[in-house]
Amino acid sequence: MGMKRPVTALVAAIALTLTLALPTAAGAKTGDVKWVCVVNGESVTFVSAPEAARHGIDTANSRAGVVFHDQFGEECHVE
């Protein structure tokens, strides 16, 4: 069971990367949606993407955000 958590974190990171690698809608502005985690007491923006990517970022947050919380104690949210 020792390898389960690192593998889960890796899968979540890959899912996030693939979600964000999808092409954006023409004319979309970068930075409309942000995925933010609190690291060492400071807010860090990990992803800034157009509004068209909101569903993917929400999905990634619901999975990877849980892993980050469980593994590292970080609180993540979508703005």
User: How far apart (Å, rounded) are the C-alpha atoms in residues 2 and 30?
Assistant: 38
Q: Residue 13 pLDDT > 80, yes or no?
A: no
User: How far apart (Å, rounded) are the C-alpha atoms in residues 40 and 53?
Assistant: 27
Tens of pLDDT, residue by residue over 57-79, are 899 899 888 888 888 888 999 99
| Domain ranges, ordered by start, for the chain | 4-78
pTM recorded for the entire structure: 0.60
